[in-house]
Amino acid sequence: MIYSSLRIKFTPEKLPEAREILCSLVERTRVSQGCLGCDVYQHLLDPGVLLFEEWWKSHAELGRHLRSDLYRRIILVIEMATEYPVVKFSEIAHTTGLEMVEKLRMGLLPTPEL
């Protein structure tokens, strides 16, 4: 699985338009072939910052998305930013949930080094 994140900062004047565009892209992205999820968030401590997240099954499906007209709209939003955005692509081999917290707190697993 590939996790994609864009952290983008906007001026107060550009923020509503950027938020509207990104929100309109969430549902369209979610139904794209290979998309496992897509969300957009507004930072609570820095309201001018939006975070756009996507999860993809494979590199091929992510690559197809990055070359799509849909992603061209995301690039237009990036160009509206006041600062260079933080763009990250992470490969995830395994995920776990609350069971990890329970096992660690019960001492059933060694504490991971951070």
Which residues make Cβ contacts (< 8 Å) with residue 2, sequence separation at least 6?
55, 56, 57, 58, 59, 62, 89, 90, 91, 92
Domains and CATH numbers, the chain: 2-105 (3.30.70.100)
- Is the pTM above the cut of 0.95? no
Query: What are the tokens at 60?
Result: 């091929």
Q: Give residue 108's pLDDT.
A: 83
Nearest to 25 by CA among 38, 16, 12: 38
Instruction: Please give the structure tokens belonging to residue 86.
Output: 């933080």
- Mean pLDDT, consecutive 10-residue stretches, the chain (114 aa), reads 98 97 97 97 97 98 97 96 96 90 85 64
Residue 74: per-residue pLDDT: 96
Sign of the Cα pseudo-torsion (58, 34, 38, 67, in order): positive
Tell me what pLDDT residue 19 has. 97
Look at residue 112 in the predicted model and tell me its pLDDT: 63
Q: Cβ(88)–Cβ(5) under 8 Å?
A: yes
User: Which pLDDT does position 43 carry in this prediction?
Assistant: 97
- Per-residue model confidence (pLDDT) at position 26: 97
